[in-house]
Chain A
Amino acid sequence: SQTIHQWPATLVQPVGSPLSLECTVEGTSNPNLYWYRQAAGRGLQLLFYSVGIGQISSEVPQNLSASRPQDRQFILSSKKLLLSDSGFYLCAWSVVQGTYEQYFGPGTRLTVT
């Protein structure tokens, strides 16, 4: 069966500090991978998605970046965090032909202080 991992679960970082969130998927090959951000009580905002190693599409201009160094690894980064980067970050995967059905990781709750 497929499993998706995210870490850390919670993170408190000062403004201006760097960020690295990691997501890995087990039990599937060549998945589509996604990073979302969710503000408190709000919907899901797609940040990045990837259809393959090294292939990253950005949906929203911001000070975040994403990388996919391996087939089942997706990393979200920032060089300098802003207060507005606080939120619940969710990684998700889907099969290539089934993007309507996505499977989400447990998420990382980031607080920038």
Chain B
Amino acid sequence: GQSLEQPSEVTAVEGAIVQINCTYQTSGFYGLSWYQQHDGGAPTFLSYNGLDGLEETGRFSSFLSRSDSYGYLLLQELQMKDSASYFCAVRGSGANNLFFGTGTRLTVIP
């Protein structure tokens, strides 16, 4: 089976940097995905790491260490609109589905 651990809540100041960690246990690893979901909205895809290292997309970066079964999402130059829930996800029990973590609620304060 799969299990994912993320902090439930994180608070950070506007303009700062925040890191959201995700540790995973899965039989057969095919990469780590990150999604953002604003309150009342649908999740949107942010990034995917299939190999070790850092992937950068604008203010967002995602990191993966397969040897440590660990990844993180890094948000820089935080803006108020970054307040949302962030989910990490790994491939699920089948080859065609994802297993999502319980999410980290990020609150950005002025």
Interface of B is mostly: loop
B98-A100 in contact (CB<8A): yes
Cα–Cα, bound, A101→B55 (Å):
15
Cα–Cα, bound, A99→B96 (Å):
6
* Residues of B within 8 A of A (CB-CB), count: 25
A34-B87 in contact (CB<8A): no
* B101: nearest chain-A partner, CB-CB: A43
Known: A57-B96, A100-B91, A102-B43. 10 other contacts (CB 8 A): A34-B97, A49-B96, A59-B93, A59-B97, A100-B30, A100-B89, A101-B45, A101-B48, A102-B98, A107-B42
A-to-B contact residues, CB < 8 Å: 32, 34, 42-44, 46, 49, 51, 57, 59, 90, 96, 99-107
Nearest 5 CB-CB pairings of A with B: A104-B42, A43-B102, A44-B100, A100-B33, A100-B48
